[in-house]
Structure 1
Amino acid sequence: MVDRLFRMKTKSIFVRLPLLFIFFDAVRCDYFPTLYPRESETREIKELNGLWNFRADMSVNRSQGFEEKWFMSRLEKTGPVIPMPVPSSYNDVTQDKSLRDFTGWVWYDKEFFCHYHGKDRGSYTGTVYWMITTNSEEAKVQVEVVDADSNTVVMGEGIKGQASVSNVKLWWPYSMVKTGAAYMYVLKVTVKDSTSASTDIYRQPFGFRTVNKTNTQLLINNKPFYCHGVAKHEDYDLRGKGLDMVSVAKDFNILKWLGVNCFRTSHYPYAEEIMDQADQQGIVVIDESPAIGLLQQVYNLTKALDPTRLVTFASSNSNPLSDHVMNIVDVVMVNIYFGWYQDTGYLQTIPYQVPPTLEGLYKHYNKPVMVSEYGAETLTGLHTSPSFTFSEEYQKDLLIQYHQEYDKLRHEYLAGEMIWNFADFLIDQKTNWAYGCNKGLFTRHRQPKMAAFTVRERYQKMINETQKYQN
């Protein structure tokens, strides 16, 4: 998109790049249209691929952007924007039909640093802590906290310390507030040598929030948080387990379309780019790490690094009398498959199994309980009436049965529900799996099954109820 070569007479600046125009505020540029950009000892190429802010001009004459001069400020200041991967075709990334068929002007915006050689919910105070390791005892460290408008709100010095930010804007999940979700600050760390020359600069985005629990609820910023979510895999058709920002953007658009406010990174830590997007879009993450035989050690390390961090694990054992590790963790999380692996085909048994199973865990441990997996295998396009195992109707009916039981418990001790799985994914060849695991709400190439619409209706309703209560 930006395949031009500029030589800039400046040190470090912010640059805004709409789709059609490039503006440099008070920057002199010498433009060489015949030279292809190539790196050398004196020239640096900056890769701008990734997620940009995006807005389509939906006005009748498609000229609102020019008339209101969207290019003169950050795009987010002109109205609602969404993340959009570059390069990609915007028509195929979102769940918005009007954007899929859109023809007209669209606007992209991204802030980056060019370095060339030569609404308020109340008054809160946030505290940021830092501990920095340098390779020189003579190094001097300067720390700045920068808000979303690029204003420095507090400064500090030293390799270790803390600073308080008054009137802080809190990070909220998007499902809990109508406006002001996912507010992010940046911690800017500048390391200088003995001559006070900058030797390194690093920026770490972060948000101010508290996470806590009672014996029945999860709390974010001291407000009840109920996880209506999914378990995921880093898997996509053709690419498999890997990272590309088009797939990331598509998945987050689907998550928002569904109304998902929480997902579990089954069964491994995800790429930092995905975690960053969750932070920026206001989605809570249960970050999973392999810990078989090491749960106590992982728990201890986590608490040593962050005593406020809640720790849990996904257990396939719902019998507290035979489980030996649920007593360690902060939140009880369990996989249940009634109507699928147990009593296959008999959905009428679910009301007699789900409540006593979850209640037994709660009474034994006196902790919030979450369902980390439940669902049914579904072959796309297989339809039966009445519903039968592996049909789309069966998956839908099974989820509805579970939801009816969850609704009885989520105002008591149930703190969350996560469907297995967000999308189909490929596994090794087995006689009891038809080309991978097909318990997804979406196919491997992200097309919805019937159950996706059932879940969307439920989750979006829960968002509306939560925002009405919280606001």
Structure 2
Amino acid sequence: MLKPIATPTRDLVNLDGVWRFAIDSRLGAEPWRDRLETPLEAAVPASYNDLFTDPAIRGHVGWVYYQRGVQVPRGWDGERILLRFDAATHAARVYVDDELVGEHVGGYTPFDIDITDTVSAGAAFRLTVAVSPDLTNTTIPPGKIEVGMTGGRTQTYFHDFYNYAGLARSVWLYSLPQRHIDDVTVVTGFDADTGWVDYRVETVGEADVSVRLADEDGRIVAEADGSVGRLVITDVTLWRPGAAYLYTLTVDAVEDDRVWDSYSLAVGVRTVEVRGAEFLINGEPFYFTGFGKHEDTAVRGKGHDDAYMVHDFQLMEWTGANSFRTSHYPYAEDVLDFADRHGVVVIDETAAVGLNMGVVGGLSGTPPFPTFSEQYAGAETQAAHAQHLRELVGRDKNHPSVVMWCIANEPASNEEGAREYFEPLVNLVRELDPTRPLTYSMVMFATFQNDRMIDLFDVVSLNRYYGWYINAGDLATAELYLQGDIQGWIDRTGKPIMMLEYGADTMPGLHSVWDQVWTEEYQTDLLAMYHRVFDRFPQFAGEQIWNFSDFATTNGLHRVGGNRKGVFSRDRRPKSAAFALRRRWLGLEGRKPSQDS
């Protein structure tokens, strides 16, 4: 799926701003048929939950409605006219005036709706978008809705971040020529100083395809004709972690000496490979340093914000981080574009979080019922998961910053049925993109002794909380557990091992001379213990701390104003651990730690 951009043949109108807003219980039947009867307005992009002071809106279960007027540019006569939603969490129904024109399920991937036959160039229309925050056992991520003693509906979900919802990313109106470029796929490689870009172009309507590749100075370095081919680059400059270089691929759809459509995208020439216990980028061992993150800020919720994006990347660079994971859902496309331009490596994760009834059982890990069953994660859930993967890979396949797909966070891979659920999904992703390794982040209940599916994947990615949920306050014992855990995975798999989550909740300003949990000193000491263990294993491929910054969660007795495992506070103030990380990661200088470090 191509991101809408303005080109010589395409126009783009941004529909962000303040829209009329209401929840379904305060509206009549079929509210889209007229102007919404509401005094409220909501910002787009933003989650709606924290915008208002009304608790009935914040925790609403059911549909909410956004509405605004839209003017179609008068010069679009004869063009295809489409609406683009960068995301609508978690399901959407879109109405143009009185007509339902499209629907989408899945809260973190974009969708387009062709409204050519519904609107006219130069005319205005009423755009109403219904968005549902509801999660069930057939959605990704899953959840359940219950009716309480008061008769109200409540949402339960099994992931530890707040269920922000709404139009959290941009909305666009854009035009396409009748004959147009529908999709572009690129795969890159190199041999010594010669690089190449293999491309495949799909078009709508009969047209010949021509392509050209320009360097960062605008010089054409390769050209070709045809919808499938290879562009060869002499004296290629590679895209490298920390040193991004982007070529521009321009695709033209031509017929009868007329350029019907033109589209350009950034291309970074690089390779990714797993060989033995090493993760290789451009044939060189790469050691991940960085974070699990969240799209989470005060008031905006999961609303994308360019200012926070820039500042977060600056803070990651300050710490010496070279990577992050899009935990626990695909992030806004703008984030990946920024990572492409700045040489930051990304592990791209799906919204498949909460596929684990063992978490409901608490530290016992005993599920109340099997995770992989029609009662929870059955055939419908698997189908929704597959569709999410198709949309994720379709959106992000051309980003050089994306080096690995993470297809689930903390699934019950130790339970019966896990392999049967995940093997078809693994096969699907490998078919969609055979160029990138696959992983999943592994819950603590899944050990090297009982995990049922690690052989299907390329990298062992562990989430471990020794010293916090287990052995809290006893780092000496936690260190022994951690070392034995990593050694067990090395002995079993021979694959690269990395830590995708480790950390401790920390209240800024809380201090102690002892190993007291929740203090800034304890967070720093816990991270240092993990790093000592990591450095003992040459097979270790990387460390991503949980979490970059504090974030909002469900209400819970173990959460004081959210999850406090960030090395930065929610408003991006550094805790002591941030300075300790900076000393470690800048000291690594891109080398892989070994037993001699």
Q: So what's the TM-score if we normalise by structure 2?
A: 0.55
Q: Indicate yes or no: 2:312 matched with 1:185.
A: no
5+ residue gaps, structure 2, are 1-7, 10-70, 77-189, 356-381, 383-420
Which segments of structure 1 move beyond 4 Å, counting only runs of 4 or more?
38-43, 291-294, 464-467
Q: Is the 8 A contact 1:123 1:166 kept in 2?
A: no
Q: Percent identity?
A: 39
CA gap of 1:40–1:373, structure 2 versus 1, over 3 A, is closer
For 1:172 and 1:209, the matched residues in 2 are separated by: 7
Shift in Å, 1:238: 2.1
For 2:191 and 2:254, the matched residues in 1 are separated by: 37
Give the match for residue 133 of structure 1.
202
Shift in Å, 1:321: 2.2
Give the match for residue 448 of structure 1.
574
Shift in Å, 1:347: 1.0
CA gap of 1:282–1:314, structure 2 versus 1, over 3 A, is same
Shift in Å, 1:303: 1.7
For 2:271 and 2:326, the matched residues in 1 are separated by: 21
User: CA deviation digits over 1:47-84, x for unaligned, max 9?
Assistant: xxxxxxxxxxxxxxxxxxxxxxxxxxxxxxxxxxxxxx
Q: Is the 8 A contact 1:318 1:334 kept in 2?
A: no
For 1:296 and 1:127, the matched residues in 2 are separated by: 32
Identify which of 287, 299, 314 aligns with 1:238: 299
Shift in Å, 1:39: 10
Shift in Å, 1:351: 2.5
- Give the partner amino acid of 2:338: Q
- Give the partner amino acid of 2:246: M
User: CA deviation digits over 1:127-184, x for unaligned, max 9?
Assistant: 21222221212x111111111111111011112222221221111101xxxxxx1111
Give the match for residue 479 of structure 2.
351
Identify which of 449, 457, 481 aligns with 1:321: 449
Q: Indicate yes or no: 2:486 matched with 1:424.
A: no
Q: Is the 8 A contact 1:392 1:450 kept in 2?
A: yes
For 2:313 and 2:334, the matched residues in 1 are separated by: 12
For 2:590 and 2:237, the matched residues in 1 are separated by: 22
Q: For residues 178-217 of structure 1, what are the structure 2 equivalents within 5 Å?
A: 181-193=243-255, 195-217=256-278
For 1:356 and 1:206, the matched residues in 2 are separated by: 42
For 1:277 and 1:163, the matched residues in 2 are separated by: 25
CA gap of 1:267–1:456, structure 2 versus 1, over 3 A, is same
For 1:429 and 1:218, the matched residues in 2 are separated by: 39
Give the match for residue 343 of structure 2.
282
Give the match for residue 230 of structure 2.
162
Q: For residues 54-453 of structure 1, what are the structure 2 equivalents within 5 Å?
A: 123-137=192-206, 139-174=207-242, 181-193=243-255, 195-291=256-352, 292=355, 294-316=421-443, 317-409=445-537, 412-453=538-579
CA gap of 1:435–1:251, structure 2 versus 1, over 3 A, is same
For 2:428 and 2:312, the matched residues in 1 are separated by: 31
CA gap of 1:216–1:123, structure 2 versus 1, over 3 A, is closer
Q: Is the 8 A contact 2:287 2:590 kept in 1?
A: no
- Give the partner amino acid of 2:503: G
Give the match for residue 99 of structure 1.
none
Shift in Å, 1:465: 4.9
For 2:231 and 2:322, the matched residues in 1 are separated by: 30
CA gap of 1:298–1:279, structure 2 versus 1, over 3 A, is farther
| CA RMSD in angstroms, aligned pairs only | 2.2
- Give the partner amino acid of 1:313: Y
For 1:302 and 1:196, the matched residues in 2 are separated by: 39
User: CA deviation digits over 1:365-405, x for unaligned, max 9?
Assistant: 11111111000011112112224111111111111111111
Q: So what's the TM-score if we normalise by structure 1?
A: 0.70
For 1:306 and 1:39, the matched residues in 2 are separated by: 37
Give the match for residue 8 of structure 1.
none
For 1:282 and 1:405, the matched residues in 2 are separated by: 28
- Give the partner amino acid of 2:249: L
For 1:123 and 1:212, the matched residues in 2 are separated by: 17
Q: Is the 8 A contact 1:336 1:371 kept in 2?
A: yes
Shift in Å, 1:245: 0.8
For 2:299 and 2:442, the matched residues in 1 are separated by: 31
For 2:193 and 2:240, the matched residues in 1 are separated by: 13
Greater strand fraction, Structure 1 or Structure 2: 2
421-430 vs 158-167, greater mean Cα deviation: 158-167
Shift in Å, 1:346: 0.5
CA gap of 1:42–1:327, structure 2 versus 1, over 3 A, is closer
Secondary structure of the corresponding residue to residue 327 of structure 1: helix
For 1:143 and 1:242, the matched residues in 2 are separated by: 36
For 2:327 and 2:73, the matched residues in 1 are separated by: 43
Q: Is the 8 A contact 2:473 2:515 kept in 1?
A: no
User: CA deviation digits over 1:192-215, x for unaligned, max 9?
Assistant: 23x221121111111111111222
Give the match for residue 111 of structure 1.
none
For 2:74 and 2:275, the matched residues in 1 are separated by: 58
Q: Is the 8 A contact 2:504 2:526 kept in 1?
A: yes
Q: For residues 451-466 of structure 1, what are the structure 2 equivalents within 5 Å?
A: 451-463=577-589, 465=591
User: CA deviation digits over 1:401-420, x for unaligned, max 9?
Assistant: 111111112xx211011100
Secondary structure of the corresponding residue to residue 234 of structure 1: coil
For 1:372 and 1:466, the matched residues in 2 are separated by: 16
User: CA deviation digits over 1:293-323, x for unaligned, max 9?
Assistant: 5532332222223322111010114412211
> May I ask how many residue pairs the two structures share in their alignment?
345
For 2:251 and 2:424, the matched residues in 1 are separated by: 31
User: CA deviation digits over 1:342-365, x for unaligned, max 9?
Assistant: 011111113311111011011101
Q: Is the 8 A contact 2:466 2:479 kept in 1?
A: no
